[in-house]
Amino acid sequence: MDINRQLEIIKRGVVDIISEEELRKKLEASIKSRKPLKIKAGFDPTAPDLHLGHTVLLRKLRQFQDLGHEVYFLIGDFTGQIGDPTGRSELRKQLTKQEVAKNAETYKKQVAKILDIRKLKIVFNSKWFEKMSVVEMLKLTTHASVSQMLARDDFKKRYAKGENISILEFIYPLMQGYDSVVLEADIELGGTDQIFNLLVGREFQKDFNQPQQVVLTMPLLEGTDGVQKMSKSYGNYIGITESSKEMFGKIMSISDDIMLKYYELLTDEDIEQIKKMHPKDAKVNLAKIIITQYHSKQAAEKEAEEFTRVFSQKEIPQDIQKFKTDGNKNIIIILTESNLAASGNEARRLIKQGAVSFNNIKVEKDDFVPNESGIIKAGSRRFLKLEK
């Protein structure tokens, strides 16, 4: 494929390219030598499930694969025990080696839904970091200064507020930068919040007399709340391993404005054509596209029909969850034990908002005890068949 067409594909949806001139030269050299570029993206397995926010980057990696380049999916099983401080207002909880290893194993299975796993180079940075001596590890710190670290936005804010910043957090971007040296990466991808770490990689390669990697940043995808970036920590995520029913419901809950960004970053649809659709129809279409990708077309059609039946025709779902009670449990206990609410606090909040009903009658008190069989509804899409 010619250089201009490759650039057109690579630049689609990208926020930053540092620098485009270097990218063009690397692509030209690749075509001339018939040697694929090494594309790096790092993932710390700090949670067992990937979500749609991760897929923004994964989709770009797939494009590089389709262009014939080598994609290195770096699992930070060593650095994951430290925890990336990016975007954090406090010290991140450190995971054990066993927790990280378990999460990393699930990542390999999940990325196969997007990437060509046969061509993917999966690497673990424990392979080189566990072999380094304490002295070798400490020498990495000579490649950066405290003033450089404090220039980083999230560190700067925390320092100004007098909040704790551990020395360990300073080490993280240095280790990520060294990953690029070991892999001799030509291009590294990350979210816009990762740009500091990605640029450290460029500087490390320069210090180690390697050609500097080109940095590409992708936009962050807001979660279902439409405010924070999608994250399991914020409880606003849509996991790619979630059931088709759960995925459909979460996608239908997002705002119309965020919906267009989801289309732009998660699909190949023509945005101008989507804008001409009724927002509700467009959202259903979005849910069907995403569920088809991670489940099947049949599952997508089924959930769309169920949504229409339940929410447009005000009917009760066919596969409603059942819950047995002895007639002595109050509504808070029922909501939490059935997982209709994640906690007692959420159950009380739903009741206070008037979002809980029993047999179509709004529940107004926390101590309400249903003394007969019936249907409990929590929010707009959670149902429970209560059996006494």
Beta strands in the chain (DSSP E): 16-18, 38-43, 70-75, 121-124, 187-191, 214-218, 321-324, 356-358, 361-362, 374-378, 382-387
pLDDT of residue 91: 47
At residue 188, what is the residue type? Answer: E
pLDDT in tens, 368-384: 988 888 888 887 678 88
pLDDT of residue 90: 47
User: Domains in the chain, ordered, with CATH?
Assistant: 3-222 (3.40.50.620), 244-312 (no CATH), 321-387 (3.10.290.10)
Cα dihedral sign for 199, 204, 207, 210? negative
* pTM for the predicted model, two decimal places: 0.74
**Alpha carbon distance 307, 295 (integer Å):** 17
- State residue 381 phi and psi, 5-degree precision: -145, 15
pLDDT of residue 23: 96
Here the tokens at position 37 are 């570029």
pLDDT in tens, 210-225: 999 999 999 999 998 8
pLDDT of residue 10: 93
pLDDT of residue 44: 78
Beta strands 356-358 and 374-378 are antiparallel
**Residues in the chain with pLDDT values less than 50:** 87-91
pLDDT of residue 339: 84
* Residue 378 and residue 384 in contact, taking contact as beta carbons nearer than 8 Å: yes
Here the tokens at position 248 are 């459909």
pLDDT of residue 324: 86
**Alpha carbon distance 61, 43 (integer Å):** 13
Asked if the peptide bond before residue 243 counts as cis, ω within 30 degrees of 0, the response is: no
pLDDT of residue 88: 47
* Strand, coil or helix: 341: coil
